A and B are shown apart, each in its own frame.
Chain A
Amino acid sequence: MKIAFTAVGTTWDSQIDSRFGRTEFIVILNEETQQLEVIDNSAVKNEAHGAGTATAQKMYELKPDVLITGNGPGDTAATALKNLNMKIFVDAHNLTLEQAYNSYKNGSLKQL
């Protein structure tokens, strides 16, 4: 399974970014290899408009099985993500990546 996180930093103890579109980084955990892959999202973050759909497009390229984020994608981005076979878990923005992953594993994160 590939798990994507919106994150303000690049490590396992970074906070989850509450933003989807303008997240600082997208961090991907490959559960099989336990490797973290970091995608810098600063180019999208610096777009004046359309950040939600641009990050949604990135999700299509990365194709994670699960996304763990904060407030969750807005309406337009959520519509764009509908055809992607990806589960979205939200309200993790006061947690670190590690805490959010553990919460996801024990089923305490809210799924959209």
Chain B
Amino acid sequence: MKEVVILSGKGGTGKTSITGAFAVLAGQQAIIADCDVDAANMHLLLAPDFAEKSDFYSGELAVIDSNKCTQCGICAYKCRFGAFSLSNGTYVLDPLSCEGCGYCQITCPEGAISLVPRKAGQVFVSTTKVGSTMVHAKLDIGAENSGKLVAKVKNSAQELAKLKHKELVVVDGSPGIGCPVVSSLAGASYVVLVTEPTVSGLHDLERIAGVIQKFRIPMGCIINKFDINPEMSNQISHFISSNGIDYLASIPFDPSFTKAMAEAKTIVETQSPAKLIIEEVWATLTKKLIN
């Protein structure tokens, strides 16, 4: 089983549009994992059915035992995040303000406060519109993506790939180079980087390529919207060729991407010239990954 992870460093380069297109081209050959959980949006393109749901817990949350609480107010005084407030003569906790640090638990003289695992969202296993299996997640308000959640989504996708005898796992990663990105790289066979010809596009490409090199994972790069700044595209091409990164394609700026998105379609379901380019990249990738 091979795993291809799509990353960008910078956000907004077209990573998910391209991952969605790959997912449609892969059809039932691949398991899809959306690890960009902070801004999970691949479900808009792939119309998954949200068939299986499970709750996801991350971090902790304070709870007050009203039987033990004497309304002394020490928790409200001690909490650095202002999570406790007096409401109709009773101290209550605002879960959005609570950081789960546990200071209130230590300082409560009545032992009325305990920490419980905090529900952070839900993980789904779905069937997409092309019949493939997709693992994805949705965060609750105020919750953040984490290496832990990415590991859970990825491990579940890998297990399903083994179970269903699929040769490929396609992973949509997070922007940036932080914990969720590092977590999405574990065990990856190949990384596709999607960048754009802007100063921050190149800067963030350099940073993400540095992280991937540390893990010795082969990678290739797509320059999206290359014609909006040909000079910067040249600089990116130079960076790619001098750092052992495969050059995969240059895609011209094309409003069809946005139009397709508004129709809940991927670019390969339209007649855009970009369709052919992405099909070619996908053919190259599958050849590279599956002999």
Interface, chain A (partner B; CB < 8 A)? 18-19, 21-22, 45-52, 70-72, 74-75, 78, 90-91, 93, 110
By a CB distance below 8 angstroms, the chain B residues around A91 are 216
Given contacts A72-B215, A74-B214, contact A48 B186 (CB under 8 A): no
A93 with B211: CB separation less than 8 A = no
Given contacts A22-B151, A49-B146, A51-B148, contact A70 B186 (CB under 8 A): yes
B214 with A72: CB separation less than 8 A = yes
Q: Is B63 an interface residue (CB 8 A)?
A: no
CB distance from B82 to the nearest CB of A (A): 22
A-B contact pairs, 12 of them (CB 8 A): A19-B151, A45-B148, A46-B148, A48-B59, A48-B147, A48-B148, A49-B146, A49-B147, A50-B179, A71-B216, A72-B216, A90-B216
By a CB distance below 8 angstroms, the chain B residues around A52 are 182
Please measure, in the bound complex, the distance between the C-alpha atom of A48 and the C-alpha atom of B59, giving whole angstroms.
Answer: 7
A45 with B214: CB separation less than 8 A = no
Q: How large is the interface on B (under 10, 10 to 19, 20 to 34, 35 or more residues)?
A: 10 to 19
By a CB distance below 8 angstroms, the chain B residues around A50 are 179
Within 8 A of A (CB), among B20-67: 58-59
Within 8 A of A (CB), among B192-251: 211, 214-217
A70 with B148: CB separation less than 8 A = no
Count A-B pairs with CB separation below 8 Å: 53
B146 with A48: CB separation less than 8 A = yes
Given contacts A70-B187, A71-B187, A93-B187, contact A48 B216 (CB under 8 A): no
By a CB distance below 8 angstroms, the chain A residues around B211 are 74-75
B217 with A71: CB separation less than 8 A = yes
Given contacts A71-B217, A72-B215, contact A18 B148 (CB under 8 A): no
Q: List the A residue with the shortest CB-CB distance to B151.
A: A22
Please measure, in the bound complex, the distance between the C-alpha atom of A52 and the C-alpha atom of B151, giving whole angstroms.
Answer: 13
Which of A19, A50, A75, A110: most chain B Cβ within 10 A?
A: A19
B215 with A71: CB separation less than 8 A = yes
Q: Is B13 an interface residue (CB 8 A)?
A: no
Please measure, in the bound complex, the distance between the C-alpha atom of A63 and the C-alpha atom of B149, giving whole angstroms.
Answer: 29
CB distance from B100 to the nearest CB of A (A): 10
Please measure, in the bound complex, the distance between the C-alpha atom of A18 and the C-alpha atom of B5, giving whole angstroms.
Answer: 15
Q: Is B174 an interface residue (CB 8 A)?
A: no
Q: Is B170 an interface residue (CB 8 A)?
A: no
By a CB distance below 8 angstroms, the chain B residues around A46 are 148
Q: Is B135 an interface residue (CB 8 A)?
A: no
Q: Is B17 an interface residue (CB 8 A)?
A: no
A22 with B187: CB separation less than 8 A = no
B59 with A71: CB separation less than 8 A = no
